[in-house]
Amino acid sequence: MTSLSDLPLRADLVGKTPYGAPQDAVPVSLNVNENTHPIPEHVVADITASLEAAVRGANRYPDREFLGLRGALADYLGHGLSAEQLWAANGSNEVLQQVLQAFGGPGRTLLSFTPSYSMYSILANGTGTDWVAVPRPEDFALSPEFVAAALAEAQPDIAIICAPNNPTGTPVSRETILAAYDAFDGILIVDEAYREFADDDDAWPGAVSLLPGRHRMLVSRTMSKAFAFAGVRLGYLAADAAVIDALRLVRLPYHLSALTQAAATAALRHAETMLGTVAEIRAQRDRLAAALTDLGYRVYPSGSNFLLAGGFADPVDTFTKLRERGILIRDVGIPGHLRFTAGTDEETGILIGALQELRAIEQGASQS
């Protein structure tokens, strides 16, 4: 059987591994930060009707510029954004890939603060962009001074800050993002995939509010998380209109299907309803945080729909035993740590019960 070593693979891809979060048909799946709440039936009906209409015209190519969807996204974000300042693709990963195709590539660098989203380095590898990883402080939090110093020294072509950060959940302040932008001359991407779950939304609405006058700042978001639309694969980006023109140079023709456009536009008509579970997810996140703390684990501050907890003597063993109980979480490779998505009330209760059981077994074994 042929293996990778038998193929003329690019030298810079030899030895690399693909993105690979486990996918199991378990009763409680809390490992990829999905919104586990179902879409309301009346919204499903409207989306289905929109899809039916789109299918009737599927013999034709989709709208290549998808200005209707871009306008709906601009209206959702607000802040005076226009359709010309919005872009979308098949998940935010494709959006970020297009950014790297336009502004990265051989001889250019992408910097981020690790641990962070594992796809950043994979996207860098795939586009021939040099990857620069700056380790975060012990608590994973980024201060304006820390970020500014790192960027001023490295002067990357592109920097990306995940806000709040995945996999740690760490919130990122307005001051930190502004300090990052002012510290270097390259493209700054603020990845706000989890922004709708942030607790400080009343204090400031995220990096989209910082875009005016900052043509090198790009804000990436997604409908996969708070919108409960992961299966549709719709990520989007807000930036200066000139940035959007740059992305149009590298996108594939008709990259966004008519079905995707129809489904996403219909969902945006029901944005308030689609985001109706956010408060409940935050409550379950906080409930889980309290339970993990009571069990003696270190829980890090989170502005997302998941938690990172430390203090596990053997994370792989805990992961395996939870999986045996029909619960799938995420081992993100940080020694002593595991990540937990906040699910429904029932799912959170099942997870807490299993963690309490495992903790009791662990403590009993240590006392025997």
Six-digit token string for 41: 């039936």
C-alpha span between 313 and 74 (Å, rounded): 47
Residue of higher predicted confidence among 363 and 131: 131
pLDDT of residue 201: 62
pLDDT of residue 21: 73
Residue ranges covered by each domain of the chain: 23-37+276-367, 41-269
pLDDT > 70? residue 33: yes
Is the distance from CB of 102 to CB of 110 less than 8 angstroms?
no
pLDDT > 90? residue 365: no
C-alpha span between 183 and 201 (Å, rounded): 25
C-alpha span between 196 and 202 (Å, rounded): 11
What superfamily in CATH does domain 23-37+276-367 come from? Aspartate Aminotransferase, domain 1 (3.90.1150.10)
pLDDT of residue 12: 86
41-269: CATH number: 3.40.640.10
C-alpha span between 355 and 311 (Å, rounded): 13
Ramachandran area for residue 214 (φ above 0: left; ψ -120 to 50: alpha; else beta): beta
User: Given the structure tokens 């959940």, which residue do they identify?
Assistant: 169
Sheet holding 130-135, edge to edge: 86-89, 235-238, 217-222, 187-191, 158-162, 109-114, 130-135
Sheet holding 298-299, edge to edge: 298-299, 306-310, 337-341
Instruction: For residue range 264-313, list pLDDT tens digits in order.
Output: 999 999 999 999 999 999 999 999 999 999 999 999 999 999 999 999 99
Cβ contacts of 294-299, under 8 Å, gap ≥ 24: 295/355, 295/356, 295/359, 296/359
pLDDT > 70? residue 341: yes
Q: What is the pLDDT confidence band of residue 204, given thresholds at 50, 70 and 90?
A: confident
pLDDT of residue 22: 72
**pTM of the predicted model over 0.75:** yes
Q: What is the pLDDT confidence band of residue 56, given thresholds at 50, 70 and 90?
A: very high
Phi (first) and psi of residue 282, to 5 degrees: -60, -40
pLDDT of residue 4: 87
